[in-house]
């Protein structure tokens, strides 16, 4: 529902919330009002249907709309393509992204596949279910609460993932100890379920969101060390991957285990030469109008919030929410440009806290001046993946180019001004 007051704006502009279900109908149109479906999503669909059991890496900057696009993809496929069993989940709901292992992902995949097939009424052969139950019993034998109470496969799975696996490192360690020597068997059981789903007249598509939210070292380790294992299930899978891993030196090896890498672009709100990009501005103007009454924000305030968002949806939503808080504190009845400037200044402090190395600033200045990440100095170039990961550097598609986040640009400008004094 469109916000009618500033207090409503705080609720509607929630940067933690991904558009799903009814919210997609109400708010999604901003991404496509001025253009057709994003080419990245069109390519994703072509890949899914173009060959069997495609393994696709889906990337983009944090907050650029990947989860929303994957939610919409799943809903579109469910409505318009019968014969597909779609298993979509976010690892943050069942796992700890700060302690993530390839075995966790495959085990959670098996859980989600079983749960979806069961809820969809897909009959899995009793012998296979018995094998899965025996397997789960073996790998959870050291988890006391589960060992003591056997009530069927579904209950065991649920107790493990919903109640324990995400919160308790001891549970994860116990299960991993038993699971890793049996990983080939786990993949066999996953593929047995996939075969049963096919016999029921469906193809399985698994969409695993949230892996891109893991720390840079974990994301690279997962795909670099275990990409071949993650690609073994015999069905189509979309994995999210941190954009920093795409820019790592290991990515050439990572690519060999997957069929395609698709990157969802940011929405350019300025052109490469620094001039405003009207198409991008219109996208965020539409987003704002769909979510709140136009008279709740002044035009120059909306324009400045758009510019400082770097074309990243979550950044824009966060700036509007924070600006709204500033407006309420001020006693105003609408967001003005000074409110946005105060909100942006807080965001600037966030970046200052994470940018603490001289080599980071050297790399940022190089990118600012050249609109490129190709830096000769190896030590300086090594900072690029981390700066992409924390949004200090932003990629724009088309004739691909890079720039420094506008909020970080203001930090660099202050540093240059100070140096000249």
Please tell me whether residues 348 and 359 are part of one structural domain. no
Q: Which domain holds residue 383?
A: 355-420
What pLDDT is attached to residue 168?
84
Residue 24 lies in a domain: no
Please tell me whether residues 196 and 256 are part of one structural domain. yes
What pLDDT is attached to residue 35?
44
Question: Which residues, including other chains, have CB under 8 Å from residue 18's CB and lie 6 or more apart?
Answer: 67, 68, 71
Is 38:341 a contact under the CB 8 Å cutoff? no
What pLDDT is attached to residue 240?
96
CA distances from 34 to 71, 88, 271, 283, 284 (A): 21, 28, 17, 7, 11
What pLDDT is attached to residue 166?
78
Distance CA 231, CA 342 (A): 47
What pLDDT is attached to residue 99?
92
Please tell me whether residues 342 and 368 are part of one structural domain. no
Residue 17 lies in a domain: no
What pLDDT is attached to residue 369?
95
Q: Helices (DSSP H) in 161-277: which residue ranges?
A: 169-179, 183-199, 216-230, 243-246, 251-255
Please tell me whether residues 336 and 366 are part of one structural domain. no
Nearest-CA neighbor of 204 among 101, 102, 131, 115?
115
Q: Helices (DSSP H) in 81-182: which residue ranges?
A: 102-119, 126-139, 144-148, 153-160, 169-179
Residue 311 lies in a domain: yes
Last residue of a domain, one of 204, 234, 263: 263
Question: Which residues, including other chains, have CB under 8 Å from residue 48's CB and lie 6 or more apart?
Answer: 54, 56, 205, 236, 238
Please tell me whether residues 259 and 287 are part of one structural domain. no
CA distances from 38 to 31, 66, 265, 266 (A): 8, 12, 9, 11
Last residue of a domain, one of 229, 263, 297: 263
Please tell me whether residues 117 and 182 are part of one structural domain. yes
What pLDDT is attached to residue 215?
87
What pLDDT is attached to residue 147?
54
Number of domains in the chain: 3
Please tell me whether residues 176 and 321 are part of one structural domain. no
What pLDDT is attached to residue 163?
63
Distance CA 402, CA 416 (A): 21
Residue 88 lies in a domain: yes
Distance CA 81, CA 227 (A): 29
What pLDDT is attached to residue 23?
63
Residue whose structure tokens are 């889906």: 58
Residue 1 lies in a domain: no
CATH of residue 287: 1.10.8.60
Residue 324 lies in a domain: yes
Beta-bridged to residue 262, according to DSSP, are 58
Residue 29 lies in a domain: no
What pLDDT is attached to residue 170?
85
What pLDDT is attached to residue 209?
95
Please tell me whether residues 305 and 194 are part of one structural domain. no
- Digit-by-digit pLDDT tens for the chain (421 residues) are 789 999 999 999 988 887 666 666 665 654 444 445 678 888 888 888 878 899 999 999 988 889 988 998 998 888 888 889 999 999 999 899 999 999 999 999 999 999 999 999 998 999 999 999 889 888 888 776 655 455 567 667 766 776 677 788 888 898 899 999 999 999 999 999 999 999 999 999 999 999 998 988 898 899 999 999 999 999 999 999 999 999 988 999 999 999 999 999 888 999 998 899 998 999 999 999 989 999 999 999 999 999 999 999 999 999 999 999 999 999 999 999 999 999 999 999 999 999 999 999 999 999 999 999 999 999 999 999 999 999 999 998 767 899 999 999 999 998 887 777 6
DSSP calls for 4-35? -SHHHHHHH--TTPPP-THHHHHHGGGGTTTS
CATH of residue 165: 3.40.50
Residue 116 lies in a domain: yes
Please tell me whether residues 131 and 238 are part of one structural domain. yes
401-410 burial, b for 16+ CB within 10 Å, e for fewer?
bbbbbbbbbb
Please tell me whether residues 195 and 63 are part of one structural domain. yes
Last residue of a domain, one of 334, 352, 370: 352
What pLDDT is attached to residue 27?
58
Please tell me whether residues 369 and 328 are part of one structural domain. no
Q: Are strands 203-209 and 84-90 parallel, antiparallel or unpaired?
A: parallel
Please tell me whether residues 191 and 69 are part of one structural domain. yes
What pLDDT is attached to residue 151?
54
């Amino acid at each position: 529902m469109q916000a009618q007051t500033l207090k409503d704006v705080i609720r509607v502009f929630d940067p933690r919330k991904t558009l799903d279900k009814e919210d997609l109908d109400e708010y999604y149109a901003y991404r496509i009002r001025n253009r057709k479906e994003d080419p990245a999503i069109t390519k994703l669909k072509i890949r899914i249907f173009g060959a069997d059991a495609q393994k696709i890496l889906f990337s983009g900057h944090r907050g650029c709309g990947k989860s929303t696009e994957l939610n919409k993809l799943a809903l579109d496929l469910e409505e318009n393509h019968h014969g597909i069993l779609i298993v979509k989940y976010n690892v943050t709901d069942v796992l700890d992204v700060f302690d993530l292992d390839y075995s966790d992902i495959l085990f959670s995949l098996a859980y989600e596949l079983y749960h979806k097939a069961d809820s969809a009424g897909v009959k899995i052969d009793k012998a296979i279910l018995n094998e899965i139950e025996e397997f789960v019993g073996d790998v959870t034998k050291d988890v006391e609460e589960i060992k003591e109470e056997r009530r069927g496969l579904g209950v065991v799975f649920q107790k493990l993932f919903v109640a324990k696996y995400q919160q308790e490192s001891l549970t994860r360690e116990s299960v991993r100890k038993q699971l890793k020597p049996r990983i080939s068997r786990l993949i066999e059981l996953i593929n047995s379920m996939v075969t049963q789903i096919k016999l029921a007249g469906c193809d399985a598509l698994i969409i695993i969101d949230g892996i891109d939210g893991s720390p840079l070292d974990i994301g690279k380790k997962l795909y670099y060390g275990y990409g071949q294992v993650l690609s073994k299930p015999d069905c189509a899978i979309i994995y999210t991957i941190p954009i920093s891993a795409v820019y790592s030196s290991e990515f050439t090896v990572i690519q060999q285990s997957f069929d395609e890498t698709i990157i969802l672009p940011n929405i350019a709100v300025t052109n490469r030469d620094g001039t405003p990009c009207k198409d991008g501005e219109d996208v965020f103007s539409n987003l704002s109008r769909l979510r709140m009454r136009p008279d709740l924000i002044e035009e120059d305030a909306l324009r400045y919030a758009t510019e400082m968002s770097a074309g990243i949806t979550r950044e824009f939503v966060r700036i509007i929410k924070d600006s709204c808080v500033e407006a309420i504190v001020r006693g105003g009845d609408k967001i003005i440009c000074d409110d946005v400037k105060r909100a942006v200044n807080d965001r600037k402090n966030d970046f200052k806290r994470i940018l603490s190395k001289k080599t980071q600033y050297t790399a940022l200045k190089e990118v600012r001046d050249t609109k490129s990440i190709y830096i000769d100095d190896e030590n300086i170039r090594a900072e690029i993946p981390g700066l992409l990961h924390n949004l200090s550097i932003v990629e724009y598609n088309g004739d691909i180019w890079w720039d420094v986040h506008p909020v970080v640009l203001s930090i660099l400008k202050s540093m240059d001004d100070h140096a000249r004094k």
